[in-house]
């Protein structure tokens, strides 16, 4: 249960090696935190030592975002072992290359399965657990790429557009249960996932995304743009005529 300062005791990070997810955890952790679960497909790449502090138990759990049939059992198992889940961060995903997707449609399908279907089943499993608890907060990592499809990354963008719409609806559905959902929409983030890629305007870092995400969560925001200026940028870009939009230097 979170205390009066909205400090969670039990945090679950689905995508336990995600740089943005870990940055969000950094901001969430306080002396009130007792349990942190880093759930990831490659458990050997997790860094539990990063979060080491007195009184905090850090557990690394095997979790496969693509194995959607296992998600409900996995979440129920976490609750049985660790108790109520106060905050869960859905931060796994595949960026991929549009050129690779164009050449291999099955690779595109696999990426969409993880980014959208996997995130949906994991979020629904978390929602079910938090309904049973009567409290909880789910943070879903979306992207501004889902705001309007671009030639450079339309497969990835479409998966995030679907996830964003799902998470917005989930947030409304969970209000009666006392469970919160926050959708986090970062722009270009300098991270391992984007290393070697051309940067985009208003690029940021995982640390900044983490800070703004948790600030927004604690303020009760349904959607957090990181950086905040992107909210206004995309309110304009949504309405730019398509012949003009496709010529913009957006990467």
Cβ-contact 13, 22 below 8 angstroms: yes
Q: Which of 116, 154, 156, 232 is catalytic?
A: 156
Query: Can you spell out the DSSP letters for 106-167?
Result: HHHHHHHIIIIIIHHHHHHHHHHHHHHHT-EEEEEE--GGGTS--TTSHHHHHHHHHHHHHH
Half-sphere exposure of 30 (CA within 13 A, CB side): 12
- Residue 49 burial (CB count, 10 A): 7
SS3 at position 26: helix
Rg, C-alpha atoms of the chain = 18
Q: Examine the residue annotation and report whether 156 is marked as an active-site residue of this protein.
A: yes
Distance CA 49, CA 92 (A): 20
Cβ-contact 92, 39 below 8 angstroms: no
Q: For residue 237, with 0-12 CB atoms within 10 Å meaning exposed, 13-18 middle and 19 or more buried, which class applies?
A: middle
Nearest to 170 by CA among 235, 124, 237: 124
Active site members = 156
């Amino acid at each position: 249960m979170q205390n009066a300062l909205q400090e969670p005791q039990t945090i679950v990070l689905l995508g336990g090696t995600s740089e943005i997810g870990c940055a969000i955890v950094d901001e969430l952790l306080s002396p009130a935190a007792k349990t942190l679960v880093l759930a990831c497909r490659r458990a050997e790449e997790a860094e539990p030592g990063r979060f080491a502090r007195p009184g905090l138990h850090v557990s690394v759990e095997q979790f496969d975002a693509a194995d959607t049939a296992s998600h409900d059992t996995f979440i129920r198992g976490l609750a049985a072992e660790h108790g109520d889940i106060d905050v869960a961060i859905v931060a796994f995903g595949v960026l991929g290359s549009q050129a690779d997707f164009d050449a291999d449609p099955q690779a595109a399908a696999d990426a969409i399965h993880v980014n959208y279907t996997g995130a949906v089943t994991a979020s629904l499993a978390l929602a079910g657990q938090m309904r049973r608890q009567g409290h909880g907060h789910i943070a879903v990592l979306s992207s501004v790429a889902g705001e309007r499809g671009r030639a450079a990354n339309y497969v990835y963008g479409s998966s995030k557009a679907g996830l964003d719409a799902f998470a917005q609806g989930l947030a409304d559905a969970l209000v009666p249960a006392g469970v919160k959902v926050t959708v986090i929409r970062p722009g270009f983030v300098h991270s391992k996932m984007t290393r070697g890629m051309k940067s985009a305007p208003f690029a940021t870092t995982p640390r900044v995304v983490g800070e703004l995400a948790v600030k927004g969560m604690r303020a009760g925001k349904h959607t957090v743009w990181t950086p905040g200026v992107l909210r206004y940028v995309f309110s304009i870009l949504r309405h730019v005529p398509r012949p003009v939009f496709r010529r913009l230097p957006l990467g």
